[in-house]
Amino acid sequence: MATIKSVIHETKKLLDISLNFSKSLLNKLMIRIFYSINYTWREVLR
């Protein structure tokens, strides 16, 4: 019983880590896209 609980606990930890990782990746991607769009607009409006 204890082993199953620990396995579930470890799985949750791994899920949390991967979720945080993907969130930060997504944030970086969004920032990059935002900057490139901004830059493109600046070039167009110039």
In a domain, residue 36? The reply is yes
Residue 20: pLDDT over 70 = yes
Query: Is the pTM here over 0.85, yes or no?
Result: no
Question: How far is the C-alpha of 8 from the C-alpha of 11, rounded, in Å?
Answer: 5
> What range does the domain containing 37 cover?
1-41
Q: Within a 10 A sphere around the Cβ of 9, how many other Cβ atoms?
A: 10
Three-class DSSP category at 1? coil
The enclosing H or E element of 46 equals: none
In a domain, residue 46? The reply is no
Domains held by the chain: number: 1
Residue 1: pLDDT over 80 = no
Q: Give the C-alpha distances (Å, rounded to integers) separating 9 from 1, 17, 20, 42, 44.
A: 12, 12, 17, 49, 52
pLDDT at 46: 83
Question: How far is the C-alpha of 28 from the C-alpha of 3, rounded, in Å?
Answer: 38
In a domain, residue 20? The reply is yes
pLDDT confidence tier of residue 17, bands split at 50, 70 and 90: very high
In a domain, residue 24? The reply is yes
